[in-house]
Amino acid sequence: MKNSSQVISLRKPDDWHVHLRDGAILKAIVPHTARVFGRAIVMPNLRPPITTIDSAREYRKRILQSVPDEIEFTPLMTAYLTDDLSPEVLEIGKEEGIFTAAKLYPANATTNSAEGVSDIRLIDNILETLQRLGLPLLIHGEVVDQDVDIFDREAVFIEKYLEPILNRYPELRVVLEHITTEDAVQFVESSSANLAATITPHHLHLNRNAMFDGGFRSDFYCLPVVKREKHRRALRKAATSGKSCFFLGTDSAPHTRSYKETSCGCAGIFNAAYAIQSYIEVFEQENAISKLENFCSVYGARFYKLPLNSDSITLIRQNTIVPNSFKFKSEDQSYQEIIPFHAGQTLSWSLKEGFEM
């Protein structure tokens, strides 16, 4: 990584957690991710979810068809775990180079997770298989019990489910996705190197006050929900710590404005378009630009045991004004809007395509 006060040039980053959706919205948003990231771990929570090798293969094809011609981008596919997914699907899926990881959604924990796992104790055969295959397990770490407060769901999950899983499967590689609490930071730091965590840009910028600033801000509503300021501070410290157990995963999760701004709005923040600038703001504010490249471009690939990207990207210190919305034509020919994270704000770095230092 070369950097000066005016230019940052870093090894091409990867996004280790992204929702690319399907259909018209897929076409509209993939270029944003593909322009910056070399690879991305693609979440399988479509409707219906990606539970077979064929559906993953077809989905990968549709993603690649949405990547602009001149861009090289590799989508890494994940299998959506259900109560009765056969371990064979994982075994063959890995062998055929289709699945890079498996995703565990506790049933009903988040968007499109109704078919997720209803009881973690039922999937021992799957966890054993993942451990044996060396296929990482990616976890949405929140309990779904209605009697657990929504702000405590991550901490309770760690104690009740994550710790026992790690104890029973010490060789299993696990990513605790999109962590949001100091509890998660401490737990990941003190666990073995087989546990890592992704951190999103929005959890580094927002606390729960921001979600209710002057009224309910549906654009800041995501799951796991943003937490108290002390948790945001702990996440910023973790992301910029230089520790290899924390790496980039945007959890960019677009929903159209009409699905966000309604009486029961969807959880998810679309941040792919300016994610890298968003992270850079945080690393600069924390005086940790020297830690940026490892977080964005090295630690994730090492954890997944994949080679590092050899290309690089360059950003220059030049204001970028984030648009208020992106419009796209949906299947029914109507125009729909997606509101990006940082809408209307000015960020201080711009992506320089093809720029030489």
Residues in touch with Zn ion (CB under 5 A)? 251
Give the C-alpha separation, 278 to 308, whole Å.
Answer: 22
CB closer to Zn ion, 113 vs 131 = 113
CB of 176 to Zn ion, least distance (A): 12
Give the C-alpha separation, 232 to 253, whole Å.
Answer: 20
CB of 13 to ligand NCD, least distance (A): 19
User: 139 forms bridges with which residues in the sheet?
Assistant: 104, 176
Q: What's the DSSP call for residue 177?
A: -
Query: 9, 10, 11, 19: which one contacts ligand NCD (CB under 6 A)?
Result: 19
CB closer to Zn ion, 115 vs 251 = 251
Active site residue 83: no
| Residue of 14, 15, 183, 251 with catalytic role | 251
CB closer to Zn ion, 154 vs 251 = 251
Going along 161-251, which residue ranges are E strands? Answer: 174-176, 195-199, 246-248
Which helix (H) or strand (E) segment is 42 a member of?
strand 39-42
Q: What's the DSSP call for residue 271?
A: -
CB of 192 to ligand NCD, least distance (A): 25
CB of 179 to ligand NCD, least distance (A): 12
Query: 40, 165, 222, 272: which one contacts ligand NCD (CB under 6 A)?
Result: 222
Q: 297 with 244: CB under 8 angstroms?
A: no
Is residue 253 close enough to count as binding ligand NCD by CB under 6 A? Answer: yes
The distance in angstroms from the start CA to the end CA of the chain is: 12
Is residue 297 close enough to count as binding ligand NCD by CB under 6 A? Answer: no
Is residue 1 close enough to count as binding ligand NCD by CB under 6 A? Answer: no
With CA atoms as reference, report the closest residue to 44 among 21, 24, 67, 23.
21
CB closer to Zn ion, 183 vs 251 = 251
Partner whose binding site includes residue 130, from Zn ion, ligand NCD, none (CB under 5 to 8 Å by kind): none
Partner whose binding site includes residue 45, from ligand NCD, Zn ion, none (CB under 5 to 8 Å by kind): ligand NCD
Among residue numbers 254 through 273, which ones bind ligand NCD (CB under 6 A)? 267-268
Cβ neighbors of 150 (< 8 A, separation 6 or more) are: 225
Give the C-alpha separation, 229 to 234, whole Å.
Answer: 9
User: 316 forms bridges with which residues in the sheet?
Assistant: 7, 350
Which helix (H) or strand (E) segment is 329 a member of?
strand 326-329
Rg of the chain (C-alpha set): 19
CB of 129 to ligand NCD, least distance (A): 23
Contact pattern for ligand NCD over residues 51 through 90, marking x by CB under 6 A: ----------------------------------------
Is residue 107 close enough to count as binding ligand NCD by CB under 6 A? Answer: no
CB closer to Zn ion, 9 vs 111 = 111
Q: 56 with 101: CB under 8 angstroms?
A: no
Q: Residue 224: is the preceding peptide bond cis (ω within 30°)?
A: yes
Please identify every residue annotated as catalytic.
251
Residues engaged in binding ligand NCD (CB under 6 A): 19, 45, 110-112, 140, 222-223, 251, 253, 267-268
